Structure 1
Amino acid sequence: MKVLKSFAVMALLFVFLLWRAESYSQAPAVAELVALADRTVELVQLALQHASFSFFALTVRDAQWHAQSALNILEGPSSPRYDPQYGAQTATPGAISQAKELVERLKQSEFASDLEAAGNHLVVFLSVADEKIVSGRSGNNIAQIRAQVQLGLGFLKAALGCGDDPLSIGGARAIQEYLRKRR
């Protein structure tokens, strides 16, 4: 009987240790996802800032300069449209690539079912914003530039979203907030 009790205690201890080891192995993965979401939010905010500057610029040159800065941030240095002579230069892969990496990592995580739609919406919003800002960047007058950049601003704001947005809508901040709560 003593042997059976000892065996039962050892088995329970073993199960407990396995459970703790599993929780420790998952913690860095969540921390890495939070860090990736944080970087994505920062890049989207920076692109949004430059797109706003482009929209409110008084001259074509300034509007194009800030639009190109937003493109540099969205697409990153590996893009053929990246131009280091204009505005923001970034050592990161770009907001779109960062968001795609975040989505791929989320699909491999325990949060895949909760965050799949939000991640896909984030990438779509950033891609459409990029297209609109590219159109604005190539405009010849301030009205053309503003019209396209304004559309890009709307999609950038949707990509950024709010922390309390439903996950079905998406947005980098909603993903960030969800992951922070699970840390």
Structure 2
Amino acid sequence: MKHVKPLGALVILSIVLFGPAQSQSSQISELVALADQTVELTQLVLQHVSFAFFALTVRDAQWHAQSAINILEGPSSPRYDPKYGAQTATPGAISQAKELVERIKQSEFVGDLEAAGNHLVVFLSAADEKIVSGRSSNNIAQIRAQIQLGLGFLKAALGCADDPLSIGGARAIQEYLRKRR
């Protein structure tokens, strides 16, 4: 009996000390996975928008623009059209980024990453507006003009791994979280 009490105390102490560490590690892994998915979706959108910009015909430009809209907005959007190329099993890049921001707000990284996450959502939403505007045109020059603006916002949304967090960017968030894993 004398050994049981110290053993029980040791078990409780280890749960108290190491339980939060495992929980924190799990939280970081989930955040990294969300950041990875957001980067992948943003890169896929960027690819389709680039194809739309360099398309030779209105039809091809609209097709790739609609594919980008599908990926940005996801299948629950009224603008989602499954007849066009890229379909996604995710809720969409914008929703994915919003979920990432919500998870960041519940984490210890809120002070460092909340502004970056909010910028990411704003950049993706602005890109979406421009791509939707380009998609609705029947003039290749007008499509390209709007798509070019969308490309700029997408590049800002993606950013670089070494960007300051104050300007946002999915890659900067991803890199920050990976370093804390």
Q: TM-score range by the shorter chain?
A: over 0.9
> What CA deviation, in whole Å up to 9, does each residue of 1:13-44 have, x standing for no partner?
96565222211111111101100110010000
Structure 1 counterpart SS, 2:144: helix
User: Map of 1:142-157 to 2, 5 A cutoff?
Assistant: 142-157=140-155
2:73 to 72, 75, 83: 75
Matched residues in 2 for 1:78 and 1:25: separation? 32
> What CA deviation, in whole Å up to 9, does each residue of 1:52-109 have, x standing for no partner?
0000000000000000000000000000000011110111100000000000000000
Aligned partner of 1:34 in structure 2 is 32
Matched residues in 2 for 1:83 and 1:62: separation? 15
Residue segments in structure 2 that go unaligned for 5+ positions in a row: 1-5
Matched residues in 2 for 1:96 and 1:128: separation? 10
1:167 aligns with 2:165: yes
Matched residues in 2 for 1:58 and 1:67: separation? 13
- How big is the shift at 1:140? 1.4
- How big is the shift at 1:141? 0.9
Aligned partner of 1:51 in structure 2 is 49
- How big is the shift at 1:135? 0.4
Residue segments in structure 1 that go unaligned for 5+ positions in a row: 1-6
Matched residues in 2 for 1:110 and 1:12: separation? 28
- How big is the shift at 1:12? 9.1
Matched residues in 2 for 1:15 and 1:114: separation? 31
1:180 aligns with 2:168: no
- How big is the shift at 1:110? 0.6
1:90 aligns with 2:88: yes
> What CA deviation, in whole Å up to 9, does each residue of 1:94-152 have, x standing for no partner?
00000000000000001001001100000000000000000000111110000000000
Shift in CA distance, 24/146, structure 1 to aligned 2, threshold 3 Å: same
Matched residues in 2 for 1:19 and 1:115: separation? 26
Matched residues in 2 for 1:156 and 1:25: separation? 33
Aligned partner of 1:109 in structure 2 is 107
Structure 2 counterpart SS, 1:139: coil
Matched residues in 2 for 1:161 and 1:91: separation? 24
Q: Over aligned residue pairs, what C-alpha RMSD do you find?
A: 1.6
Question: What amino acid is aligned across from residue 25 of structure 2 in structure 1?
Answer: A
> What is the number of residues matched between the two proteins?
175
Percent identity among equivalent residues? 81
